Structure 1
Amino acid sequence: MNPDSGDGQSPPQRPSVGRAVHYVSHGTPVREDGTQAYTAQCRAAVVTAVDPAPDAGPGDVFVSLAVLNPTGLFFDQFVLQDEDDHAGGTWHFPERV
């Protein structure tokens, strides 16, 4: 699902190669006591390809990303957009500040 630009009149944002977006890391598995060593975090990422996924549903937007982590780079393909829940393993446009 693509968000609009915020003013209600601009066309929806669309990913393109070279665009800066946010990738949400998965975090570590939840322990028995309910804690995590590392929680899911937004990370800076650059779109490297806009991917037509073979099993994509209507409105699904997949991209390939180069994710910039504090400890190095991570590359991923067919990453699903999630503007609402920001679930781990998805990408979204940066929030406007």
Structure 2
Amino acid sequence: MSQKPSVGQIVHYVSYGTPPREDGVQAYASECRAAIVTEVDTSDTVGLCVLNPTGQFFNRTVTHDEDEKHGGTWHWPERV
């Protein structure tokens, strides 16, 4: 990772989404959400304040995942 996170930076958090129902469909899919870095544990693990349309939540141990972007991880915002 070329850029290192620091407190106050904006990153993307990937939500988990809901578990698949019996028909295999998720009620809510995994999505990127805006998040603010609240603490830096290591360059790969940070604490975040995740901003959702319906509120916010805090997570203190979120791992970096720039490639696969699995649920429960963070990555740098895409450049557009």
TM class by smaller structure: over 0.9
1:14 aligns with 2:4: yes
Divergent runs of 4+, >2 A: none
Report the aligned-residue RMSD: 1.0
Alignment of 1:46-85 (within 5 A): 46-52=36-42, 61-85=44-68
Cα deviation 1:55-92 (Å, max 9, x = unaligned): xxxxx710000000000011001100000011000000
Structure 1 residue ranges without an equivalent (≥5): 3-11, 53-59
TM-score computed with the length of structure 1 as normaliser: 0.79
TM-score computed with the length of structure 2 as normaliser: 0.95
Partner Cα distance (1:61, 1:37) in 2:
30
Letter in structure 1 aligned against 2:6: S
More strand by share: 2
Cα deviation, residue 32, structure 1: 1.9
Partner residue in 2 for 1:92: 75
Aligned residues: 80
Q: Greater CA radius of gyration, 1 or 2?
A: 1
